[in-house]
Structures are given as structure tokens and as C-alpha cells.
């Protein structure tokens, strides 16, 4: 779930830790050996300078070598994180007022319902017009039974900040089974229909909106197993109580 640059910095941070620990431990070990040599008179006639500049320089060289040896693996790992070697997720172009995204996130079948309850709570928490990033209205959560499993759809109206641009849109977050051999894996799609606002402004402010959604998916992955299970149980209770409408599958085209 990390961005490519974050993966590179993760490698470098680990290298910094090793460099510092190695330098400190090496210096202390060297001082201990020097103390033992002096105590046992193994360096008769020699005087050791514990604060010599050469000691500091040698320590810095060792740290630089450790950091330098990590640069290439860090760059390779960051590039491998994006299959198409793109440094940023490249957004597709909208078709008229419709914008469709195949989000780079997947979820297991047993977590799909809980994730949607989590995301629905997030959208409902932005129902106040004083929300700084966006505010929502008419948030609905439905499910549809398919041959591959259950499909979940969260739909709403959303107004995006800055509100003086007048950008509003109909949003659908769709979690659906992958099908085939990966039937236990659910893919996540986002469908947006522009209701108002200039196209250029609409495209620009949606980058921030998509980034906010991405952060929520990352937060979901950091939640503990017990917390995610609680969201799943909430969803099952709402289904049993009829609080989540079940839609019929769309009829197949007769061609």
C-alpha cells in the first residue's frame, strides 16, 4: 500500500539505522580493544588518541558506504512497486461527464463487506457542509447477488472543496468479485458523474478526492483483525435486519 517514493525512503531509513548502530558499536568495540591492549602492556611505547580526527573520518566513511550501498536497491524496489514504471498513478481521462477508475486496491471476500461498512461510515461522517475536504448527501449502501458472489455499491452525491468552484458529482464505489480463479478476491471500482462545475476544475479537485479515498483504504489495512471483524459483523447484522437493500442482478442482454 505504500507509494514508490515511500518504499525507497523505507529502505534508506533502515540503512541509516544500521549505519548509526554499526558506527556506535564499532567505535565502542574499538575502544574496548584499545583499553585491553593498553592494560596488558601490548602496545609498549605507543600512545592512543581516542579522539583522533582519523577515527571520526573512518566512522563517517563506513556510514557513507552503508548508505551508498542502499541507494540502488531502494531505487529498484520503488520502481518494482509500480508495474508500468510510472512514478505516480496515472489517472484515466474522463469520457464526457463520466469518469471510471479501476482502483489499485483489492480485498479478500471475507473483508469486502466490512470494508464497505467502514467506507460508508467515512462518507456519512462528511454529511456536514462545514467539512473541509468534501461533503456528501444521499449516501446509500446496496448489495447485489452475482454468480461469483456479492457485489457492494456505495452511492452518494458529493460536493468537492473549494466549494466556490461549484463542483458536484454523483459517486459510486463498487466492490465486486474478480471472478475466474480469483473469485475470493474483490476488485474496487469508482464511477463518477459530473453534475456541476467546469470540467477543468472537476478534474483538478478530484485528484485530492481520490487521494483521500486512497488514504482510507490504507487505514483499513492498518486496522487489527478484531476491528475489521467488528465491521463485518455490523454489516451482517444490517443485512439480517434488512437495513441494506438487496438488488436483483441486471438482466442479461438478448443478442
Among residues 81, 109, 125, 121, the alpha carbon closest in space to that of 186 is found at 109
Alpha carbon 186 to its chain centroid, in Å, reads 17
d(CA 165, CA 197): 6
Q: What is the mean pLDDT of residues 97-123?
A: 94
Q: Which of 80, 108, 124 delimits the end of a domain? A: 80
What's the burial of 188, exposed, middle or buried (CB within 10 Å: 0-12/13-18/19+)? Answer: buried
In this structure, what C-alpha cell is assigned to residue 152?
A: 457492494
For residue 32, give every residue at least 6 positions away whose Cβ sits within 8 Å of its Cβ, in sequence order, or none: none
Domain for residue 116, yes or no? yes
> Domain range spanning residue 52?
4-80
> Given pLDDT bands bounded at 50, 70 and 90, which one contains residue 20?
very high
The CATH number for 212's domain is 3.30.310
Among residues 137, 203, 217, 142, the alpha carbon closest in space to that of 171 is found at 137
Number of separate domains in the chain? 2
Query: For the segment 184-235, what is each residue's pLDDT rounded down to a tens digit?
Result: 899 999 999 999 999 999 999 999 999 999 999 999 999 999 999 999 999 9
Higher pLDDT, 19 or 255: 19
Domain for residue 86, yes or no? no
| β-pairing verdict for 134-145 and 98-108 | unpaired
Q: What are phi and psi of 124, to 5 degrees?
A: -65, -25
pTM equals 0.66
Among residues 154, 169, 171, 224, the alpha carbon closest in space to that of 202 is found at 169
Q: What are phi and psi of 242, to 5 degrees?
A: 80, 15
Any idea which of 93-97, 135-139, 181-185, 190-194 has the lowest mean pLDDT? Answer: 181-185
Tell me: pLDDT of 83 over 60.
no
What would the 3-class secondary structure string for 47-86 be? CCCCCCHHHHHHHHHHHHHHHHHHHHHHHHHHHHCCCCCC
Most confident listed range (35-39, 43-47, 168-172, 214-218) = 168-172
Cross-strand bridge partners of residue 190 = 101, 173
Q: What is the mean pLDDT of residues 103-129?
A: 93
Q: Which of 80, 109, 135 delimits the end of a domain? A: 80
- Asked whether residue 53 falls in the same domain as residue 132, the answer is no
- Asked whether residue 71 falls in the same domain as residue 138, the answer is no
> Given pLDDT bands bounded at 50, 70 and 90, which one contains residue 89?
low
- Asked whether residue 104 falls in the same domain as residue 157, the answer is yes
Tell me: pLDDT of 85 over 50.
no
Amino acid at each position: 500500500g505504500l507509494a514508490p517514493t515511500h518504499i525507497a525512503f523505507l529502505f534508506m531509513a533502515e540503512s541509516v539505522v544500521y549505519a548509526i548502530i554499526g558506527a556506535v558499536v564499532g567505535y565502542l568495540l574499538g575502544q574496548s580493544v584499545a583499553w585491553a591492549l593498553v592494560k596488558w602492556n601490548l602496545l609498549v611505547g605507543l600512545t592512543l588518541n581516542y579522539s583522533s580526527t582519523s577515527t571520526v573520518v573512518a566512522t563517517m566513511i563506513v556510514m557513507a558506504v552503508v548508505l551508498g550501498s542502499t541507494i540502488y536497491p531502494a531505487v529498484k524496489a520503488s520502481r518494482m512497486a509500480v508495474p508500468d514504471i510510472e512514478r505516480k498513478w496515472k489517472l484515466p481521462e474522463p469520457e464526457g461527464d463520466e469518469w471510471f477508475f479501476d482502483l489499485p486496491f483489492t480485498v479478500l471476500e471475507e473483508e469486502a463487506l466490512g470494508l464497505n461498512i467502514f467506507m460508508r461510515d467515512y462518507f456519512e461522517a462528511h454529511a456536514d457542509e462545514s467539512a473541509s475536504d468534501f461533503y456528501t448527501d444521499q449516501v446509500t449502501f446496496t448489495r447485489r447477488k452475482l454468480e461469483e458472489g456479492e457485489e457492494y455499491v456505495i452511492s452518494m452525491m458529493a460536493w468537492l472543496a473549494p466549494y466556490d468552484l461549484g463542483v458536484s458529482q454523483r459517486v459510486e464505489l463498487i466492490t465486486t468479485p474478480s471472478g475466474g480463479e480469483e473469485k475470493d478476491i474483490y476488485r474496487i471500482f469508482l464511477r463518477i458523474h459530473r453534475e456541476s462545475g467546469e470540467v477543468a476544475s472537476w478534474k483538478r479537485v478530484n485528484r485530492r478526492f481520490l487521494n483521500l479515498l486512497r488514504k482510507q483504504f490504507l487505514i483499513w489495512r492498518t486496522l487489527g483483525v478484531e476491528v475489521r471483524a467488528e465491521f463485518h459483523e455490523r454489516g451482517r447484522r444490517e443485512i439480517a435486519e434488512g437495513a441494506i437493500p438487496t438488488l436483483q442482478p441486471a438482466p442479461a442482454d438478448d443478442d
